[in-house]
A = this chain, B = another copy of it.
Amino acid sequence: MYWSKYFIPTLKEAPAGTEAISHQLLLRAGLVHMLTAGVYTYLPLGYRVLKNVERVIRQEMNAAGAAELFMPCLHPLELWKQTGRDEVLKDVMIRFKDGRGREMCLGPTHEEVVTDLVKNFVQSYRQLPVILYQIQTKFRDEMRARFGIVRACEFIMKDAYSFDRDAAGLQKNYARMETAYRNIFKRLDLDVVVVAADSGAMGGKVSHEFMVPAEIGEDAVAVCGSCAFRGGASVLETAGGVCPQCGQKNLAKSPALELGHIFQLGVKYSAAQQALFLDEKGERQPIIMGCYGIGVSRVVAAIIEKHHDEKGIIWPKAAAPFDVEILTLPGPDDAEGVEPAARELYRALTEWGMDVLVDDRPDSPGRKFNDADLIGIPLRVTIGRKNMAQGQIEIKVRGTGAMVLVPQQEAGGRIKEMIAKL
């Protein structure tokens, strides 16, 4: 992709009123744009990151045996009345009457819809287990929209739902989802703490949250100042809950951002909505359910919170919008052949399957270097007139700052090696 033909509107300054560093960098790096409070457009670069995060989630969900579907945003309120959650979630639900007079709402979550779906198709224990998931937009009438895409009125979630015939099946799927979640966050370089949690409006007795310690978090975890131990904030309040290695004195409370939440729902929805199956004995039983959410857009913000420096974002490889940025600095007549060298390298790297952005804008070196640091592509390859006169190209690793000069002919191979090592 050539920057001059793309749409990356970087900003020199963060707009006023942006508190969180991730929010500032999302705006400054041209990743998102606010339409109105709590409502954001994903600009091309931000959309690429979002799709990368989604890809990691999909791969792990598919590997865990979940089947992807796509449920609607528009829900008949009638369905929510079956579980009483039209009242429980009243304050955050966006509701309206349509032209036919139907009471509708915009889905803040999809337990009722997926339960109704499975009820229509599953009658026998032979059809269980089933795990379904989707990546879909959710809506909340959020009065406290904050920190950009961290707490928004319209946001993207991955929500999965398991359906089992017994508690043992639920335990197995719950454990499988926990493993998938650990894999997802690991691949995205997010060091999460898994904490037993309150099930709140979802229901069920057992649930776990996946939290990442972060200044902007509205939850909390316990972190040890001396070793790698981290745990739920409740560790600080219980007598036996000390850090195994270092004792309680080094434990401190840290704000944390909730990125995922998994629930053993049991029969709350299936019993209320009459989603029943015939068991081995021919008896009708409510299906045993679990649900498993990840805030996809919030994950993007969390990655930035954890991976940046004073100059900008430092994308982990799995989320990076491009693998390589080629930055060109030609002279007035390009006697050194900077632009042709960039085109040739772009072609070679693209053929090898890399995603490459070429900053071919006729801007000052300062602006181009600053923007490269800001948008944070893992490798920056600078093709400048002076180095090119010596047949040399510069490669810099955004994360470490390590820089090498390599002969033009060897650049492609070196970049491939360096990407593989990131």
Contacts and interface: CB of A to CB of B under 8 A. Distances in A.
How many copies of the polypeptide does the oligomer hold?
2
Interface residues of A, number: 51
Contact of A98 (B65, B75, B98, B153): B153
Given A96-B96, A98-B94, A120 B73 contact: no
A95 interface: yes
A301 to B, nearest CB: 15
B33 A120 contact: yes
Nearest to A42: B70
B96 A65 contact: no
Query: Lowest 5 A-B CB distances belong to which pairs?
Result: A9-B121, A42-B70, A96-B96, A44-B67, A99-B141
A5 interface: yes
Contacts of A50: 70
B94 A96 contact: yes
A39 B110 CA distance: 14
Contacts of A5: 65
Contact of A74 (B39, B42, B47, B71): B39
A412 interface: no
Nearest to A92: B99
A53 B41 CA distance: 23
A211 to B, nearest CB: 27
Interface string A86-106: 000001001110111010001
Interface in A79-128: 91, 94-96, 98-100, 102, 106, 113, 116-117, 120-121
A159 B265 CA distance: 39
Contacts of A91: 99
Interface string A132-161: 100001010111000000000110000000
A133 to B, nearest CB: 10
Contacts of A143: 99-100
Residue in A46, A70, A142 with the greatest tally of chain B CB atoms within 10 Å: A70
A41 B141 contact: no
Interface of A is mostly: mixed
A135 B100 CA distance: 28
A98 B141 contact: yes
Contacts of A132: 7, 44
A42 B113 CA distance: 12
A380 B153 CA distance: 46
Contacts of A43: 69
Residue in A35, A41, A65, A72 with the greatest tally of chain B CB atoms within 10 Å: A72
Contacts of A96: 94-96
A197 interface: no
A369 interface: no
A60 interface: no
Given A6-B67, A33-B121, A74-B153, 8 more contacts: A7-B130, A39-B74, A41-B113, A42-B70, A47-B68, A94-B96, A94-B98, A99-B141
Interface in A23-78: 33, 35-37, 39-44, 46-47, 50, 65, 67-76
Given A7-B132, A116-B35, A137-B137, A70 B99 contact: no
A76 B42 contact: no
Nearest to A153: B74
Contacts of A70: 41-42, 47, 50
A41 B94 contact: no
A277 to B, nearest CB: 14
Nearest to A102: B36
A309 to B, nearest CB: 26
Contact of A76 (B7, B35, B46): B35
Interface string A283-305: 00000000000000000000000
B47 A69 contact: yes
